[in-house]
Amino acid sequence: MKKVKFLIILFFIFGFYDILNAKKENVCIECHLETGEESLMKPVEEWRKSVHSENGISCHHCHGGDPNDEDIAMAPEAGFIGVPEYEEIPEFCGKCHIGVKENYLKSAHGKTLPDGPNCVTCHTAHNQKKAGVYLINKELCSQCHSYERAEKIKFALLSTEKTISSLSKRIDNLWTNGFDAEQMRKMLFATKNSFRRLTHIVEVDYILQRTGDIYSELGKVENEVKEKEEILKNRNIVGAFIVIFLLISALLFDKLRKELIKKT
């Protein structure tokens, strides 16, 4: 009984500590929500639905500052850099998305800086969606220009996107069936990143040229996947034969047992 009481006390102590710690880790979020001001609450609400949130990327990863201490949360000495000016956004996002930034700056979009479209024009500031060809659409692109050029780019990318999606599902299936999928996932991730960067070049001919290289890399992943799928197929066939053998053996044994019972 004493042990049970001791465990209950420990549970409450650590539970209370976790609650306090969780609050400290979200100083930025708590402060924005407690203001009750829509302009400050909205970024949090949008961020919660974003791909950044899904991957554990929070306020301080982009804006700096200390998310654990409200006294220095917005202090320059804690690395707080706040909200960038419009023309600073490519460098701001490019801290993490280095390859994308490089391609963007070389593109027709990047050459229109400081006034032209940048990261938040397509991806928004806080409600970023998972990257994909679907982001190239008439509604979004037509905000600045006709959709014709963007549609050609989307068509050039669509087949590759489907191949990547298919390979990802096949790799997940292999992992579910007990295969080590780490190397295949790394290969696909690297190739997918190279592919996704192409969308920021905004040059149809260049994209078509590079898509050929991407397919070559995807071919290597495909070979790895096929090799393991063949092993899985053979394993399933052997497993099926074993099950059939056991069922037949069970039926024969049962029949033999019944005959022996009759004789006795």
| Cα 193 to Cα 98: distance, rounded to the nearest angstrom | 11
Clarify whether residues 76 and 89 are in a common domain.
no
Clarify whether residues 91 and 74 are in a common domain.
no
Clarify whether residues 90 and 76 are in a common domain.
no
Clarify whether residues 92 and 71 are in a common domain.
no
Clarify whether residues 118 and 167 are in a common domain.
no
Give the structural domain span for 123: 84-128
Clarify whether residues 37 and 119 are in a common domain.
no
pTM equals: 0.68
* Residue 259 confidence (pLDDT): 76
Clarify whether residues 28 and 108 are in a common domain.
no
* Residue 129 confidence (pLDDT): 87
Clarify whether residues 65 and 121 are in a common domain.
no
The total domain count for the chain is 3
Last residue of a domain, one of 69, 96, 128: 128
Clarify whether residues 146 and 161 are in a common domain.
yes
Could you tell me the CA-to-CA distances from 46 to 35, 37, 120, 141, 250 in Å, in that order? Answer: 16, 14, 13, 21, 60
Could you say which DSSP state residue 113 is in? T
Model confidence at 264, pLDDT cuts 50, 70, 90, reads low
Whether the pLDDT of residue 32 is over 80: the answer is: yes
Q: Mean of the pLDDT values across residues 24-46?
A: 88
